[in-house]
Structure 1
């Protein structure tokens, strides 16, 4: 009887040890999965990034003060770009991006780079992805220059954009016309804020 109890306890100890070793291996594997390669050179842990990663982060871009005329020109071109994406037209979007680049100030070099890149893209979905970043930057510019805005500007949001990640855009009309889905889900969205 003592032999059976000893054997059972010994087997249980081995099982517990094996499970603990497997958990540690899984934890180490999960840690490596959270790290990301950057330019194929070295690893970054979760939450780490180089300073240059912030350069294209629209939330970190300077919200430049612009003249009333510059703001009106920028918004006009931005709204044309939004409308082109509502119509799912890459050609119209590229033309509107070209107009917008001309209206951006020299201090907005990161934004100019983003919009210039949009002009080179043929795929409307790729342009839409950049439009999300552009919208965040334009929101910052409009907020910084709120006293110069003529008429209403609406911040509108679609929770289903980009595989349910959600994204917003600016509009001069309260009616929802979704640039991220075009005619697939034209009315998907809601007004989040009137600027």
Structure 2
């Protein structure tokens, strides 16, 4: 019974839950440096973004959603179309910016960790979100799995 009560208290959570879950699947595939799984997971992510009913988002989420939605779709689709993990990782950096903005205004069931790799992109660095505080770098995979740090915890 508490599950349905939670859904009623936060109807928007179900709208964005699939988006976040699919984002984490893309991240996990990149950690494994698997371009074909990353592509498949990005296809699912793009579909979940398109399936969001904006009318069920909170006012604050709706404002952010309108700003990031098109970029999220475009970026997820470019990851899906690519079979080159280097290009996928570049697009994932842009994707992560939009997902971070969305996570900041969306209530999360569990803490989400905003993590940073200082070495990616020629030392410019890049960020990503994770459900684990332990760093598993999607930009380098097994090459430098633990490169990076948690810079923020979103609750």
> Is the shorter-chain TM-score for this pair beyond 0.5, marking a shared fold?
yes
Deviation (angstroms), 1:113: 1.5
For 2:70, which of 83, 97, 109 is the aligned residue?
A: 109
Structure 1 consecutive aligned stretches of length 4 or more whose deviation exceeds 6 Å:
none
CA RMSD of aligned residues (A): 1.4
Matched, 1:175 2:134: yes
Report the TM-score when normalising by structure 1: 0.63
Q: Which runs of 5+ in 2 are unaligned?
A: 1-10, 55-65
Kindly tell me the number of residue pairs found equivalent between the two proteins.
128
SS in 1 for 2:139: coil
Deviation (angstroms), 1:127: 0.3
Give the corresponding residue for 2:8.
none
**Does the aligned pair in 2 maintain the 1:71–1:149 contact within 8 Å?**
no
Deviation (angstroms), 1:70: 2.1
Matched, 1:141 2:102: yes
Matched, 1:123 2:84: yes
Matched, 1:88 2:33: yes
SS in 1 for 2:121: helix
Matched, 1:157 2:102: no
Report the TM-score when normalising by structure 2: 0.79
In 1, the alpha carbon distance for the partners of 2:75 and 2:25 equals 17
